[in-house]
Chain A
Amino acid sequence: MKPATFDYVAPHTVHETLDALGDTERDVRVLAGGQSLILEMHLQRIRPDLVVDINRVAGLDHLNLDNGAVRVGALVRHGVFESPQAVPGPLGRLFALAVVNIAHPPIRARGTMVGSLAWAHPASEWCAIALALDAAIEVRSADRAREIAVHDYFRGALQTARARDELITSVRFPLLGDNTGVGFIEHRRTHFCFAQVAVATALAVHDGVIEQARIGLVNCADRPVRARAAEQALVGAEVGSPGTGYRLPDGHPFIRAGRIAAEQDAAPLAEPYADPEYRRNAIAVLVGRTLRQAATDYQVQAGNGATGGRL
């Protein structure tokens, strides 16, 4: 199918954009990368009255550091994060591990991180990472600006706390300390599919002991999930040496955390080719593997003097 008719504007300033979004009588949609919106318009699952193309708005493509955090503007494309140096330290490594799982280079050249957060698909890598890392969503409407803490933001599949007249101008991530090891592993049927399950982790380590664990689960419920019970179970555990065997022993803290994430944190839905039982099994396995990857990342970095250099 082809998109149904709509009106189109391409403002040059945030101010003009917010004016256009203020028309709440009609179905008004922001067009960022268009890699979800135009697809939905082809399928006519979305038939906007007005499309507000923000690609010509000045100042939305900034990626900058601000007081221990990185602020990602609404027009920063996925592809930017392919380089682990785009963002300093472990956060840049985590983004680089995750981003290659999002579609392909031509889609990553257009699609944006903020667009993914706005769309809020349960299988979005960025959404689960934002949730695990306590990101803040910065929004503006014609008469106010506010910040939405990420744990208040996701309300279900494709549902968020953003009001219809609000533009997400940027998302802010606190940087991760140099004592952090990161991991990201995704499982899917083919590269053209969305994640069946994916896991993001960041382990903050002090004296060989896990001080804080962050675990984000992708496509493990109707919205992104933070695996808080599993995180709690890891605090105080030793990161240990990564070991050489293919599997960790059954009683290992990472294996235990995987089981807790699958049974207590996740709420997987049935999907074609993946019933909830299968998915719980996949979650347990992937959480364990991702924690191990993060522990290895920590050790490699610590061995290199933990300067936040590249892997």
Chain B
Amino acid sequence: MKIKLTVNGEQHSLDVEPRRILADVLREDCRLTGTHLGCEHGVCGACTVLVDGEAVRACLMLAVQCDGRSVRTVEGLSSPDGEPHPLQRAFSAEHALQCGFCTPGFLMVAAGALEADPTIADDSERIDGLVESNICRCTGYEPIRRAIMRAAAESASRGKP
């Protein structure tokens, strides 16, 4: 089936079988291997990407469902000149990754929430909910929580007049 995907602002015209999940098409057809697959059961969250701005599991969506939609992956987080996203800087500052396998998923789930609502820093329960969304086998989660708080606080202060 012929579909059009906008991935990180770039148009892709693809011919994909309906059975192929979004994560595989991003990795194999668009050659964007930042989106990882851990469980393919919706549990681990390593595959999380934004579809029309909303964080979703790319292992539980068919690529054909995204025809005409806009997808953002971890490769689309930094600005065009290569400047890291505030979340990426915060993850580095807080040592929120060790092996890094889970990192793209955590970055995208946090980016979706932060862009929809820059005031999430005030709501620690919401942040806990985001951190609990995905699995990390290395860090123990606390540094990830701190990194999201740090980036949220930064973007909230930037948003103020």
Chains A and B bind each other: yes
User: Smallest distance from the beta carbon of B106 to chain A beta carbons, Å?
Assistant: 11
Q: How does the 8 Å CB contact mask read for A80-112 relative to B, with 1 for contact and 0 for none?
A: 000000000000000000001001111101100
For the complex, would chain A's binding face be called helix, strand, loop or mixed by DSSP majority? loop
CB distance from B121 to the nearest CB of A (A): 17
Chain A positions 3 through 44: 1 when the CB is less than 8 Å from some CB of chain B, otherwise 0: 111111010000000000000000000010011001101100
Q: Does B18 lie within 8 Å of A8, measured CB to CB?
A: yes
Q: How far is the CA of A43 from the CA of B67 in the complex (A)?
A: 25
| B132 sits at the interface (CB 8 A) | yes
Docked-complex contact A106 and B61, CB < 8 angstroms: no
Q: Which of B31-48 contact A (CB under 8 A)?
A: 40-43, 45, 48
Asked if B72 is at the interface (CB within 8 A of a chain A CB), the reply is no
Query: Bound state CA distance, A104 and B82, in angstroms?
Result: 31
Does A51 reach chain B (CB closer than 8 Å)? yes
Known: A34-B62, A42-B41. A106 touches B55 (CB 8 A): yes
Cβ A106 vs Cβ B56 within 8 A: yes
Let me know if B109 and A105 touch, CB within 8 A.
yes
B: interface residue count bin? 20 to 34
How many positions in chain A have a CB within 8 Å of any CB in the partner chain? 28
Q: A4-B19, A53-B65 known; A107 and B42 CB under 8 Å?
A: yes
Q: Which of B17, B60, B112, B133 contacts A34 (CB 8 A)?
A: B60
Tell me if B1 counts as interface (CB < 8 A to partner A): yes
A188 interface residue, CB < 8 Å from B?
no
Whether the pair A42, B40 counts as a contact (CB closer than 8 A) is yes
A38 touches B21 (CB 8 A): yes
Which residues on A sit within 8 Å (CB–CB) of B145? none
Answer yes or no: B54 CB below 8 A from chain A CBs. Answer: yes
CA distance A7 to B17 in the complex (A): 9
A5, B60: Cβ atoms closer than 8 Å: no
Q: How far is the CB of A33 from chain B (nearest CB, A)?
A: 8
B42 contacts A5, C-beta separation under 8 Å = no
Whether a CB of chain A sits under 8 angstroms from the CB of B156 is no
Residues from chain B with a CB closer than 8 A to the CB of A42 are 40-41, 59
A103 and B132 contacting across the interface, CB-CB below 8 Å: no
Q: Which residues of A contact B67 (CB under 8 A)?
A: 10
Chain B interface (Cβ within 8 Å of chain A)? 1, 17-21, 24, 40-43, 45, 48, 54-57, 59-62, 64-65, 67, 109, 112-113, 129-130, 132-135
20 extra interface residue pairs, beta carbon distance < 8 Å, beyond A2-B19, A39-B42, A104-B132: A4-B19, A6-B18, A7-B18, A8-B18, A31-B62, A34-B60, A35-B57, A41-B19, A51-B18, A53-B62, A55-B65, A103-B42, A105-B55, A105-B130, A106-B112, A107-B42, A109-B56, A110-B57, A110-B61, A192-B43
